[in-house]
Structure formats: C-alpha cells, structure tokens
Amino acid sequence: MVLIIGGAYQGKLDYAKEEYGLTDADVFTCEEGSTAVGFDEKIVDHFERYILALIKAGQVPERAVGMQLRANRYKGRIIICDDISQGIVPMDKTERAWREGVGRTMVKVAQQADKVVRVFCGIPVVLKDESAEEKPAPKIDGLEAVFASEANGAVRPEAAAYSDTSKPEPKTEGSKPEAAADKPHSTGGRGQGPAPRTPFGMPGANPFEHFDFGNAEEGGLTPEEQFRINFEKMKAERKAAKEKAAKEAAEKEAAQKDNGGE
C-alpha cells in the first residue's frame, strides 16, 4: 500500500499515475457525502472526502478505516489524501472534527503503508519506503575521526579510513626502527606520544594540545578526561563570577535606594 499526501492541487494524482504507469480508468474518486469507497481500482483519490462522509454518518473514521486496514482491503492500493491540517482552525464543529479525523486516520494508514510520499508543487518527497534496499551506514566525518585518535597517535579502526597512519612506512635497506623516545611529540609534550594525524594524514593536529593537562600522568588521567575536568572547572568559575556580579549589582541597587530614602 502506498499513501500520497499533500495540499490541494499539488499534483498528487498526476504523480501517482506517472510513477506507477496508471490511467484515469484505474482511479476511484471519493464523492462528497458518500461512504462508498472503491476497492477494485488501483488508486483511491480524495480520501479526505470519504473521512468526512464517515463523520457525518456518525462513525469514527480512524476506527472504520482501521478495521479495513486489518482486513487488508487496501493491500496493493494507492491512497491519495489532501492534507487539510494546515491553516486556521475551523469555526464549524464538524469541520474541526473532520480536520482531526483526517490527521488521526492518516497516522494509521501511514503506519501500515509500505511507502509514504508527500507531494509539494509537483515534487515528491519520500517520507517512508520499506521496500527500498538497505543503504550502507555512512562513514564518520573528519571531526569525529580526529577525536577518535588515541592520545599516543594510534588511530582507531573507525577512523582508519581517514588517516594514513594505518599504512606501513616504507623501509630502506639497512634502516633501523626508530626508538620510541626519539619520535616527535605533540606541542604539549608530557609524554603524550607521537602527534596524532588529522583525517587527511597531516601530523600535529592534536585536538587537546592547546589545553593544560597539569599532572595528568601522575593522576593517571587521559588527556580527554583531564580536558573534561578543566572544562567543568571553567564553567564553575564563570558561574561563580556571574553570581558575584549579580550580588554586587543587587547590593549597589539597595544602597542607592537607601540613599534616596534619606
């Protein structure tokens, strides 16, 4: 089942016929005041009229349509419904009930539909498509890859695609492996290991190198943990400064009132 929604005269029916190769002979148009709905045609157009007819007949549209959905009456059908939920709330009681009934009924239809499309100015926007093939998960972006780097320069698997640190360095004949103590360190030093690389393989872009980690090594904290501690400390200092300024302003205002009273 496919649900197509949108404002009046937005090209919903034309989209349905073109998208699924149908003609006017495949369309059942709901008539105003009629509770009849066609289950033989492929397309059921102006479903909002059918909902209004149910309301005027004393029925609850979401219940009536819900029973039809459970009976698979709309299986393989294309339901087209005008979105009447926009604009000013109607003054008429029946029109308000119609507005609410269309919304609640479309919720049930959309839940059961395999595909939901909204058409605006003739442009279809797919809101739901359970028949579509599962797409691969997107890769993490560059910023996430930077923060995924370990403090010692190692790159985690999820960030490996954005860094050249996973590639072996070329070796020349007779060369010796470089000692760990001889490797370059980040700007802050303090035994943080080699400078991490950016998502583009450029060294020297440690996201924590501009912060003072203090005695991080002695305290057994990672640079990330120390960064969070410093950040919370900064927030507390700012909060205390604001409270102090507010207190001084209040005292000044009280003093001015006292002087004016004298």
pTM of the model: 0.51
pLDDT of residue 226: 76
Q: Where are the domains of the chain?
A: 2-129, 138-169+178-210, 212-257
Q: What CATH number belongs to 2-129? A: 3.40.50.300
pLDDT of residue 259: 78
CB < 8 Å & 24+ apart, contacts of 84-92: 84/48, 86/7
Which residues does the chain have with pLDDT short of 50? 140, 142-147, 150-152, 155-156, 158-166, 179-189, 197-205, 208, 210-211, 213, 216-218
Tens digit of each residue's pLDDT (9 = 90 or more) over 50-87: 999 999 999 999 999 999 999 999 999 999 999 998 87
Burial 83-109 (b: 16+ CB within 10 A, else e): bbeeeeeeeeeeeebbbebbebbbebb
Q: Which two tokens stand for residue 8?
A: 């009046």
Which one, of 223, 200, 205, 198, lies nearest residue 213 by Cα?
223
